[in-house]
């Protein structure tokens, strides 16, 4: 490679942008790049300057951009893709307490999950809790079930534990019931239900029916973190997302995520130049009945599009009014919308549209989608719809073909997530395999020409790991391996990746700067641990990034690139579950994984453990660890 700044780039037919001669910050070479750009789909080298691609092509195209200070990354023939963009996740809220969470994402057996819980309980200081906040489901465990309260009590006899399972239930151990003061005399909380024993005492199982308010409100009563810890905590979460090649996320907001109070961490990180991932955020009214007041107040403070290339406001949602929320508890019947729902949605939508605000709206079932479309079409008939407004339906698992046409006529887009990968078997048991096979009808959406962004809805229902979601799109299987979709409702690897890159950029209105590896766009990319386009389908979910670049900055590095990314500040408390386990637990390939998970699942009894110890399968120190032992 030449080091001179000769303008040979002109002879390659690439368009140089101003200031050729100043060297690039970062040059990637010897790569197998999927650019996502239809006009130039492949490349082997790219150069980034001032946070944007200045050359994408072959070695000779990037050579003129190399100077003495240019960092050159040799991809050694690895697959490189545009940075991934999750079009629906809840990052801002999660970041605040992420360092307090024990994540079961990816854990292959309940036995291992409980062992982690037990170990974590032993190192958790008095006054603190162990929290497992979603990102897992019974379908991923070899045992195919959730833990019992008895198992939580056994794993953590003294430390309060809260485990949430999707939007179905919260499991509290005895210590947590004591800490919250829940007794026989405590009435059921609004929207939820205590399971009680024969004496009327809550067992610790809290059912989130008909609304998940019980999950929000229980978690809100667990110990909080200081603003400084929230900053560090957010950085660790963003780093974990960078680990999988994510460079952008659309944050769908949520309950107990009030603007601007709970956005301060990401705002401060943006100001300090310490975000490692770009966030497009939404505003979510916090109190049922006061939605309009919230929106009116926020409209005085911020407008869609405000912000910069790292953090920008993108509109209202995913909640517009609480009354239309149809939570996706697939183990329970579909909730009916209250009679006031459409009237409230009408008022809120008119306020937003009248002020030029785009929005996204949570809608799981076709019944809710039809009700919302009736409202939107009425607004349009009144001449109050703003043409060209960016709006999205989120989830849409059971959307009908007719509704898809109506969404298209109104210029809407859809954000789908792999919630069915976590709850697909429960869904199929309730609605049948035939309905499950088209829930959501991904191919029908795409065939109609709708813009469809992919994502996860992490972390309370599903994991944030984008490769698990990409695997779901391509294989049509749940995290437990059950087949949901026939080939007619699956997509190619290329289409799935586009849904995770270009579609996300489209949904946030940033197609001109994001989504592909093209000259002029943001320098966001990931060097992958394995070639997404050629690995066996079963291995897609196991892909990670070895090097993630955002804005030309290396934000995450692993394997042979380890230590190329700048280190994160230390975790402020040594007992953090993240400090001990990290978050997503990567498991070995499927065959080995199943065998191991089953071994873990059956290794329950002390006798069995001693037998395994005798065979040298586990060390004696492991058996005797802790005051009552964690296995
Ligand atoms: Zn939602
Ligand atoms: Zn959501």
pLDDT tier, 217 (very low <50, low <70, confident <90, very high otherwise): confident
Ligand 2 center–CA 135 separation, angstroms? 12
Query: Whole-angstrom Cα distance, residue 186 to residue 43?
Result: 64
Ligand 1 center–CA 230 separation, angstroms? 24
Please give the average per-residue pLDDT across 310-329, as a whole number.
94
Query: Which long-range contacts (C-beta less than 8 Å, at least 24 apart) are formed by 376-383?
Result: 376/349, 376/410, 377/406, 377/410, 378/346, 379/346, 379/349, 379/350, 379/353, 380/410
Q: What pLDDT, in 10s, does the model give residues 511-570?
A: 999 999 999 999 999 999 999 999 999 999 999 999 999 999 999 999 999 999 999 999
Ligand 1 center–CA 79 separation, angstroms? 33
Chain length of the chain: 631
Q: What are the DSSP E strand ranges found in 464-623?
A: 525-528, 545-550, 553-557
**Contact of 82 with 36, CB cutoff 8 Å:** yes
Proximal ligand: closest to the CA of 249: 2
Ligand 1 center–CA 296 separation, angstroms? 23
Q: What is the structure's pLDDT at 328?
A: 83
Residue 208, helix vs strand vs coil: coil
Q: What is the structure's pLDDT at 209?
A: 80
Ligand 2 center–CA 469 separation, angstroms? 15
Proximal ligand: closest to the CA of 462: 2
Q: What pLDDT, in 10s, does the model give residues 25-36?
A: 999 999 999 999
Structure tokens at 169: 């239930």
Q: How far is CA 158 from the centre of its chain?
A: 32
Ligand 1 center–CA 359 separation, angstroms? 13
Q: What is the structure's pLDDT at 610?
A: 56
Percentage with pLDDT > 70 across the chain: 90
Ligand 2 center–CA 455 separation, angstroms? 10
Ligand 2 center–CA 330 separation, angstroms? 15
Ligand 2 center–CA 560 separation, angstroms? 36
Structure tokens at 177: 């019931």
Bond from prior residue into 260 cis (ω within 30 degrees of 0): yes
Proximal ligand: closest to the CA of 329: 1
**Contact of 417 with 395, CB cutoff 8 Å:** yes
Bond from prior residue into 318 cis (ω within 30 degrees of 0): yes
Q: What is the structure's pLDDT at 623?
A: 40
Phi-psi region of 331 (alpha: psi -120 to 50; beta: other; left: phi over 0): alpha
Residue 403 neighbours by CB distance under 10 Å? 20
Phi, psi of 190 (to 5 degrees): -60, 130
Residue 211 neighbours by CB distance under 10 Å? 18
At a CB cut-off of 8 Å and minimum separation 6, what does 107 contact?
A: 113, 116, 136, 140, 141, 585, 587
Ligand 1 center–CA 509 separation, angstroms? 20
Ligand 2 center–CA 485 separation, angstroms? 23
Ligand 1 center–CA 218 separation, angstroms? 19
Ligand 2 center–CA 257 separation, angstroms? 12
Proximal ligand: closest to the CA of 396: 1
Would strands 45-49 and 52-57 be described as parallel, antiparallel, or unpaired? antiparallel
Ligand 1 center–CA 418 separation, angstroms? 12
Ligand 2 center–CA 223 separation, angstroms? 23
Ligand 2 center–CA 298 separation, angstroms? 20
Beta-bridge partner residues of 132:
163
Ligand 1 center–CA 460 separation, angstroms? 10
Query: Whole-angstrom Cα distance, residue 333 to residue 326?
Result: 11
Q: What is the pTM of this model?
A: 0.92
Please give the average per-residue pLDDT across 92-112, as a whole number.
97
Would strands 525-528 and 79-82 be described as parallel, antiparallel, or unpaired? antiparallel
Ligand 2 center–CA 338 separation, angstroms? 21
Proximal ligand: closest to the CA of 457: 2
Ligand 2 center–CA 572 separation, angstroms? 29
Q: What is the structure's pLDDT at 16?
A: 45
pLDDT tier, 208 (very low <50, low <70, confident <90, very high otherwise): confident
Q: What is the structure's pLDDT at 572?
A: 95
Q: What pLDDT, in 10s, does the model give residues 415-468?
A: 999 999 999 999 999 999 999 999 999 999 999 999 999 999 999 889 999 999
Ligand 1 center–CA 52 separation, angstroms? 33
3-state helix, strand, coil split of the chain in percent (to 5) is 35, 20, 45
Ligand 1 center–CA 586 separation, angstroms? 26
- Which of 66-80, 200-214, 301-315 is predicted with the least confidence, judged by mean pLDDT? 200-214
Residue 53, helix vs strand vs coil: strand
Ligand 2 center–CA 319 separation, angstroms? 9
Ligand 2 center–CA 202 separation, angstroms? 29
Residue 584, helix vs strand vs coil: coil
CB-neighbour burial class of residue 540 (10 A; exposed 0-12, middle 13-18, buried 19+):
buried
- Max alpha carbon distance in the chain (Å)? 84
CB-neighbour burial class of residue 571 (10 A; exposed 0-12, middle 13-18, buried 19+):
middle
Q: What pLDDT, in 10s, does the model give residues 247-294?
A: 999 999 998 899 999 999 999 999 999 999 999 999 999 999 999 999
Mean pLDDT of the chain: 91
Proximal ligand: closest to the CA of 394: 1
């Amino acid at each position: 490679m030449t080091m001179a700044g000769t303008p040979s780039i002109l002879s390659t037919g690439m368009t140089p942008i101003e200031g050729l001669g100043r060297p690039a910050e970062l040059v990637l070479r010897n790569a197998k790049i999927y650019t996502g750009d239809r006009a130039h789909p492949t490349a082997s080298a790219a150069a980034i300057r001032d946070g944007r691609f200045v050359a994408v092509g072959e070695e000779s195209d990037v050579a003129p951009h190399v100077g003495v200070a240019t960092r050159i990354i040799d991809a050694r023939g690895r697959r490189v893709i545009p940075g991934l963009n999750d079009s629906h996740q809840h990052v801002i809220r999660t970041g605040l307490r992420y360092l307090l969470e024990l994540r079961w994402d990816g854990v292959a057996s309940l036995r291992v999950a409980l062992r982690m819980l037990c170990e974590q309980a032993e190192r958790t200081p008095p006054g603190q809790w162990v929290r497992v906040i979603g990102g897992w489901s019974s379908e991923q465990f070899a045992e195919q079930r959730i833990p019992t309260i008895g198992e939580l009590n056994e794993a953590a006899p003294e430390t309060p534990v809260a485990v949430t399972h999707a939007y179905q239930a919260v499991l509290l151990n005895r210590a947590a019931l004591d800490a919250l003061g829940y007794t026989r005399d405590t009435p059921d909380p609004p929207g939820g239900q205590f399971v009680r024993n024969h004496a009327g005492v809550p067992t610790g199982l809290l059912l989130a029916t008909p609304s998940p308010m019980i999950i929000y409100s229980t978690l809100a009563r667990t110990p909080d973190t200081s603003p400084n810890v929230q900053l560090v905590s957010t950085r660790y979460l963003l780093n974990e997302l960078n680990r999988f090649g994510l460079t952008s996320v659309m944050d769908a907001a949520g309950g107990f995520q009030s603007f601007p109070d709970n956005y301060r961490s990401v705002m401060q990180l943006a100001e300090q130049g310490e975000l490692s991932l770009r966030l497009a955020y939404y505003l979510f009214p916090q109190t049922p009945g006061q939605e309009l007041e919230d929106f009116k107040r926020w409209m005085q403070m911020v407008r869609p599009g405000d912000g910069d290339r790292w953090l920008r406001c993108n509109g209202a949602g995913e909640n517009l009014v609480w009354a239309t929320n149809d939570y996706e508890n697939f183990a329970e019947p579909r909730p009916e919308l209250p009679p006031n729902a459409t009237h409230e949605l009408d008022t809120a939508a008119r306020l937003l549209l009248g002020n030029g605000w785009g929005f996204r709206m949570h809608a799981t079932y076709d019944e809710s989608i039809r009700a919302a479309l009736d409202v939107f079409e009425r607004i349009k008939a009144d001449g109050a719809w703003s043409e060209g407004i960016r709006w999205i339906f989120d989830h849409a698992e059971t959307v009908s073909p007719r509704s898809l046409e109506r969404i298209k006529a109104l210029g809407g887009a859809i954000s789908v997530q792999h919630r069915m990968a976590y709850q697909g078997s429960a869904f199929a048991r309730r609605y049948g395999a035939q309905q499950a096979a088209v829930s959501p009808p991904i191919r029908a959406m795409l065939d109609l020409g709708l813009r469809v962004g992919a994502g996860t809805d992490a972390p309370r229902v599903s994991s944030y790991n984008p490769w698990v979601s990409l695997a779901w799109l391509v294989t049509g299987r749940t995290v437990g391996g059950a087949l949901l979709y026939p080939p007619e409702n699956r997509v190619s690897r290329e289409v799935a990746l586009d849904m995770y890159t270009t579609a996300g950029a489209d949904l946030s209105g940033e197609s001109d700067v994001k989504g592909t590896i093209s000259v002029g766009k943001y320098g966001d990319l990931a060097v992958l641990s394995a070639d997404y386009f050629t690995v066996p389908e079963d291995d897609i979910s196991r892909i990670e990034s070895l090097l993630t670049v955002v804005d030309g900055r290396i934000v995450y590095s692993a394997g042979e690139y380890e230590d190329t990314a700048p280190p994160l500040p230390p975790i402020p408390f040594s007992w953090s579950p993240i400090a001990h386990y990290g978050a997503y637990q990567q498991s070995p390939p499927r065959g080995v994984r199943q065998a191991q998970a089953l071994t873990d699942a059956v290794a329950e009894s002390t006798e069995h453990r001693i037998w395994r110890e005798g065979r040298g399968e586990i060390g004696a120190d492991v058996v005797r660890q802790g005051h009552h032992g964690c296995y």
